[in-house]
Amino acid sequence: MTPETRTFPGARPPDRFRRVDADGVGIAVYEWGDSEDPVIFFVHGGSDFARTFDVLAPRIAQEGWRVVTWDHRGHGDSDYAALYSWDGDIRDALAVMSSTTSEPSPVVAHSKGGALMMQLTEASPYRISRMVNIDGMPSKRRMPDVPDHDQSRLMATEIGAWLDYRHEANSSIRKPGTLVDLAQRRAKMNPRLSIEWLEYLVTVGARQDSDGWRWKLDPSMRFGGFGPWRPEWSALRMASLSVPFLGLLGTVDEPMGWGARARDITPWLPAGGRLEVLEDVGHFIHIEEPDRVAQMILEFLS
């Protein structure tokens, strides 16, 4: 069976592909650009995959950068795992980074990837030299003062609910459909993106089986990972970052977005950090405005 294909203006497949063993979980890694160029890491968001950078990554690579990105565990062509967690994603990120370079490198991260990289940078600042956070700065609510015993109660409740969900979803199989069906399903979550882009996305983020196309995302995956997490915690981490920081924020709410506003984020920017607000742009800023975002990234890197 010959898989259906699609093309999209400006999209280019990676120049190289490899796998990294992250403590027994196979992580799919993709690269654009010359292998001798300076490294920059790209990090995708929740329920996404590395090939969502097929338009932005080549634009950065052609300016002399080695763009390295990967599918998070349970996403794309990386292995499924018994359990998922933010800490697991961070360990996978460190495995990819260590397999690539021993030098601190810039990172460009979208959505959940942005929140993950703020946590990684806070814990391992020697790994990251600069950060571009694309609409991954969740901060919708006032900072709460949660006592330790309440945090423990949250943890017990959420871990129990997650384990119950994993048990029920253990044998789940994604519903098949045509290439167009999957693109239309995705359009409900990405209403601002063109159907041409979404159909292209199916060809790089889904697989074609004998009975139709299925997204590669683990059916048991649920946003937020394993254990308690609050948007406010990411804001506190952001404020403490010691690397140069550029935040990009759209103004149009979308189902996969955080719903954060500039007024929520500005008080928590790190010292010297900068926030750029792109009007009339949704959560997937780098897909709606790849040329503009590439220019901002390159100016920030220089």
Percent of the chain scored above 90 by pLDDT? 76
Over residues 73-92, the pLDDT tens digits come to 999 999 999 878 888 999 99
pLDDT band (50, 70, 90) for residue 143: very low
pLDDT band at 26 (very low <50, low <70, confident <90, very high): very high
Helix/strand/coil (H/E/C) assignment for every residue in 145-176: CCCHHHHHHHHHHHHHHHHHHHHHHCCCCCCC
Q: What pTM was computed for the model?
A: 0.92
When pLDDT is averaged across residues 94-100 and rounded to a whole number, the result is 98
For 166-177, how does the pLDDT look when each residue is reduced to its tens digit (9 = 90+)? Answer: 777 676 778 899
CATH superfamily of 16-145+225-301: Alpha/Beta hydrolase fold, catalytic domain (3.40.50.1820)
d(CA 286, CA 153): 38
Cα distance between the two ends of the chain? 47
Quote the pLDDT of residue 231.
Answer: 72
Q: Please provide the DSSP assignment of 81-142 as one string.
A: -SS--HHHHHHHHHHHHHHH-SS-EEEEEETHHHHHHHHHHHH-GGGEEEEEEES-----SP
